[in-house]
């Protein structure tokens, strides 16, 4: 089996080498390679893109159903946002202190 594969590869290589010695055949060979590339690579990729980009229309709510409301912020969420805002302000006012705190956290982790 291995011998058969080697013979087929050598015959193909020799035929291509002989084929390319003829000056008119070089452009034909290049055109064939480009066509093979388009058939084997570009067409499946385009097909995949077309399948992935199918349009899905907006889904309407059934008649008589109210639009769901977003959750109202809880006191915990408001407190977190306030503490983040205060931390950012403190960092802007004293960046050296913030850098020192971060360095201490890094050394504690090691």
Radius of gyration for the alpha carbons in the chain, expressed in angstroms and rounded: 34
What are 99's two structure tokens?
A: 């850098």
DSSP state of 110: -
Q: What does the pLDDT read at residue 63?
A: 75
- 35-93 residue pLDDT tens: 888 888 887 887 877 776 666 666 766 777 777 677 777 888 888 888 888 888 888 88
- Could you tell me what percent of the chain has a pLDDT over 70? 67
- The pTM (predicted TM-score) of the whole model is 0.31
What is the C-alpha end-to-end distance of the chain, expressed in Å?
60
- 4-47 residue pLDDT tens: 676 666 666 666 666 666 666 677 777 888 888 888 888 788 78
Burial 25-38 (b: 16+ CB within 10 A, else e): eeeeeeeeeeeeee
Residues in contact with 20: Cβ distance below 8 Å, sequence separation at least 6, in sequence order: 26, 29
Q: What does the pLDDT read at residue 71?
A: 73
What are 60's two structure tokens?
A: 């309407």
């Amino acid at each position: 089996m291995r011998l058969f594969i080697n013979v087929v590869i050598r015959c193909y290589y020799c035929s291509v080498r002989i084929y390319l010695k003829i000056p008119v055949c070089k452009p034909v060979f290049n055109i064939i390679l480009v066509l093979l590339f388009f058939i084997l690579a570009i067409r499946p990729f385009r097909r995949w893109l077309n399948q992935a980009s199918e349009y899905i229309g907006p889904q309407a709510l059934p008649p008589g159903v109210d639009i769901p409301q977003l959750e109202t912020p809880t006191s915990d969420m408001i407190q977190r946002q306030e503490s983040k805002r205060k931390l950012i302000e403190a960092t802007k006012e004293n960046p050296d202190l913030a850098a020192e705190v971060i360095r201490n956290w890094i050394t504690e982790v090691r």
